[in-house]
Structure 1
């Protein structure tokens, strides 16, 4: 059996704004099958078990997308075939089938998200089967109490898999966001390994600056999220798990609990027209300015940050398309001055638009 040490290389979908998409680009499905091939698994059997009507690896497959149900079923079959819920990404630290569900159950009924994450860290430290690989998992809040950092260092002598470990941290934060009904925006990230040859997977999870060759893998976000109460129960978790691969890998599940989500729906994905002012937004949401500011602060964000992130996500989607110049992308996301777009995009992602493309 061939050891897959490079992890699954995920592409960046380029069909439309990702915030409300409910299909899966075929490249993501092919990435799962490539991983199965790397471990010598029977891909045809996996496809039959996942009820796929065609083989996505064959040239004859013309469709560009699969449903979220198909993708989730195929993820489950890969996990079953490998006997490892990490999908073979960390070959020396296996996660037996069923472990993730037990960790998630252990997080329910915690007093807040901070307690839930710490409980998961404690569970994770005891349940995984390690083969002489040191794993360090921590949650810290800075001295000002404003920024939280979740870190995970997996085997310092295994640099080739660290970017996949970093992506797993992003997946965990997506689940945490579902638990509290809020979108958790990652402000920055570090990777304990070198920048991978294929960066599309990292970009998919991190539309923010990522520093490589750092002491640990980490994701930073507003500490205000840690104070949030958990809004989900066990029956809701059982429903979530049916499509969990889609929601933690492709698209986080939108939450009507979140005022951030409601504002993103109002903003849409066409930014050539002027965005609503804060006063106009309060009227659209039927909230007072004081209430809206308090709700946004509780979710660890602001109206300006939501607007910036909306334009950033649209720009990333447009830059991945063929036929659009950087100037045209700038115009579509509301920048009349291309140089201003360059400055903003570099601030958002750590890269210039040209380098990102």
Structure 2
């Protein structure tokens, strides 16, 4: 994001107010902001007022600084309550638990199990469905008694999990409402800006509600991408793919098709892709065309990618590879491979072995 663009618009104004509240609460809790800054990172405010300092930061800087402050506030909160806080490697364990999930439902289930495995250090996660609505509850397991900082920590926790899950499926999860189990007087004391989602207070749970149909959406991110996912937070108007290369429609289709080909050894029909991504077939075709491609081209690209990998890395027979690639027979695979490379599959394999 351009530095000037990063300090303009609704997202920046919202982030400015939010960060001001976070840093004020942080300073009140720790006495200063010194421990929030690291060498080589953002410069500390020094003698400047918080308002003047924040005005120099972009939206992504505001989100990063606020997220770090909330993490330290949460650790301090746990310590004061005599509860074990998050360890440095706990979040890596949580991310690793998501790496093999196939759907959003499975990702949530794995994440909930991982929360339990690390002794509820970041709370308890529970998924429930009612009719067409899903509710993801995030219980901080904080004892009775509400504080402004506790309310702020819970709000950031909900939006952080929402952003992570949205990133996993490559699209924003539309929120019906966010629930915060805090009284209105506590929430209003935060003096936060208006958000783009409805907040329900003192409803008996903390979390967010969304359409249950999204639970069956496929995970389109790989394990390698989890560790380097771009930062983002709904509170700052930053979607699950902001501050990083956004996955275009063609890339989303490619990932869905490639996962099906690798996991189920079959190429999904165009209608299946359409149903998975939502919307209509004609709309998806038009959007792919605008990106200069088609499902047929993506399908053949996926087959080519897997074929080259299997021929160079395994000793599977040509017939077995044809089955893995969902061809009707090995002759169809051989013909397609010649069109891709100008070589036969066997010739390509020999060339790879000689080059090794």
* 2:154 matched residue in structure 1: 165
User: Of Structure 1 and Structure 2, which has the larger fraction of its residues in helix?
Assistant: 2
Shift of the 124–249 alpha-carbon distance from structure 1 to 2, 3 Å rule, reads: farther
Displacement of 1:62: 6.1
Q: Which moved more, 1:91-100 or 1:210-219?
A: 91-100
Shift of the 214–156 alpha-carbon distance from structure 1 to 2, 3 Å rule, reads: farther
Displacement of 1:167: 4.0
- Mapped pair 1:16 → 2:3: no
Shift of the 187–95 alpha-carbon distance from structure 1 to 2, 3 Å rule, reads: same
Displacement of 1:125: 2.0
Identify unmatched segments of 5+ residues in structure 2: 1-5, 253-269, 281-356
- Mapped pair 1:33 → 2:23: yes
- Mapped pair 1:296 → 2:240: no
Distance 1:168 1:118 in 2: 17
Does the aligned pair in 1 maintain the 2:7–2:59 contact within 8 Å? no
2:170 aligned to 181, 185, 199, which one? 181
Give per-residue Cα distances to partners, 1:70-121, cap 9 Å, x unaligned. 44664576478x4x7x464655352222322321221111121111111111
TM-score, normalised via structure 2 length: 0.55
- Mapped pair 1:236 → 2:225: yes
Identify unmatched segments of 5+ residues in structure 1: 1-12, 262-287, 299-357
* Alignment RMSD (CA, Å): 4.1
Does the aligned pair in 1 maintain the 2:45–2:53 contact within 8 Å? no
TM-score, normalised via structure 1 length: 0.55
Shift of the 106–202 alpha-carbon distance from structure 1 to 2, 3 Å rule, reads: farther
Shift of the 89–249 alpha-carbon distance from structure 1 to 2, 3 Å rule, reads: farther
- Mapped pair 1:152 → 2:138: yes
Displacement of 1:40: 2.3
1:64-213 superposed matches below 5 A: 64-67=55-58, 70-71=61-62, 74=65, 78=69, 82=72, 86=74, 88=76, 92=81, 93=83, 94-128=85-119, 136-142=124-130, 144=131, 146-153=132-139, 154-155=141-142, 157-160=144-147, 161-162=150-151, 164-195=153-184, 196-198=187-189, 201=192, 203-204=194-195, 207-208=197-198, 210-213=199-202
Alignment size in residue pairs: 243
Distance 2:223 2:173 in 1: 22
Does the aligned pair in 2 maintain the 1:50–1:74 contact within 8 Å? no
Shift of the 223–257 alpha-carbon distance from structure 1 to 2, 3 Å rule, reads: farther
Displacement of 1:173: 1.1
Does the aligned pair in 2 maintain the 1:95–1:129 contact within 8 Å? no
- Structure with greater Cα Rg: 2
Shift of the 65–179 alpha-carbon distance from structure 1 to 2, 3 Å rule, reads: farther
Shift of the 111–33 alpha-carbon distance from structure 1 to 2, 3 Å rule, reads: same
* 2:306 matched residue in structure 1: none
Shift of the 39–63 alpha-carbon distance from structure 1 to 2, 3 Å rule, reads: closer
Displacement of 1:148: 0.7
1:252 aligned to 214, 235, 239, which one? 239
Higher relative contact order (CA 8 A, sep 6+): 1
* 1:47 matched residue in structure 2: 37
SS at match of 2:9: coil
